[in-house]
Amino acid sequence: MADTQNKEVDQISGVETTGHEWDGLKELNNPLPRWWLYLFYVTIVWAVIYWVLYPAWPLVNGYTHGILGSNQRQEAVAAYEKGIAEQSEFADKIVATALEDISKDQELLQFALASGQAAFGDNCSPCHGSGGTGAEGYPNLQDDTWIWGGTLDDIHTTLLHGIRSESEDTRFGDMPAFGSDELLSRDEINQVSNFVASRAGVETDDGVDLAAGQTLYEDNCAACHGDNLEGLQEVGAPSLMSANYLYGKTLDDIKRQVATPRNGVMPGWVDRLDPATVKSLTVYVHSFGGGQ
């Protein structure tokens, strides 16, 4: 309690003191504004009402359920099930519609693009980037360089079974390790790499026998990459004339890929995503503009 005998009016502020004093410091009597006190009392009353109406207090074996019996988890589950039910009509229609016909139904196309975008962000963007621009070792999905083909059917197959994945129907095309498996000597790797670089517009080493490199290419590489370095999508052999090299396009990058090739892996989604989502994802990836 305040010491009423020590109360006085502070000369500087003109406010009466409470009578408390600590080391020469006197406490001014500045009570809280009434509006603030009333608001505080209202919050207390509201809290009590809330405790009575809604789940609030934890107990040993549960919690107080409140008079209204409200349950936000049940409400969230109900909202989720309602959303799934609303989408099921479109999902079933996407499954039943051929890929090339989805774009003919604008409402169905919009649903497929929205669903595909969500699936892409959750499953594909960590490797291919949020906009599908890719990175070293991860193909750019916006350009027209497609190792396994960029048609709707090609993209759909790749999504279903992946590349070098665990799926039984995965697409599988490994490049031989001409260096580490001692299929070519170091000089031969240098020659064939310089030949490829010369055709692809990459600066080559001086004094390299490009004619010998061409012969080595024809004997070891043309069966997959083509006589004119145009590639062969049926076996997943990329075009070597493309501006986009998956693992870099310097001469050193080409030599490294010939000697110790890096063969990336893409998971198959046939057992991870439902058929409607895979088809929606196909339509969304094709919409990037690089498809065929």
Same domain, 50 and 80: no
Q: Which amino acid is at 58?
A: P
Strands 62-63 vs 58-59: parallel, antiparallel or unpaired: antiparallel
Query: What is the residue range of 241's domain?
Result: 186-259
Closest CA to 274 of 79, 78, 90, 109: 90
Structural domains counted in the chain = 3
pLDDT of 141 above 60: yes
Digit-coded pLDDT (tens) for 256-287: 999 999 999 999 999 999 999 999 999 999 99
Query: CA-CA distance, 173 to 270, in Å (whole number)?
Result: 20
Digit-coded pLDDT (tens) for 142-176: 988 899 999 999 999 999 999 999 999 999 888 99
SS (H, E, C) 190-228: HHHHHHHHHHHCCCCCCCCCHHHHHHHHHHHCHHHHCCC
Query: Is there a domain that residue 24 lies in?
Result: no
Looking at 54, 70, 86, the residue that finishes a domain is: 70
Looking at 44, 70, 96, the residue that finishes a domain is: 70
Same domain, 216 and 241: yes
Digit-coded pLDDT (tens) for 77-106: 888 888 888 888 899 999 999 999 999 999
Query: CA-CA distance, 199 to 219, in Å (whole number)?
Result: 17
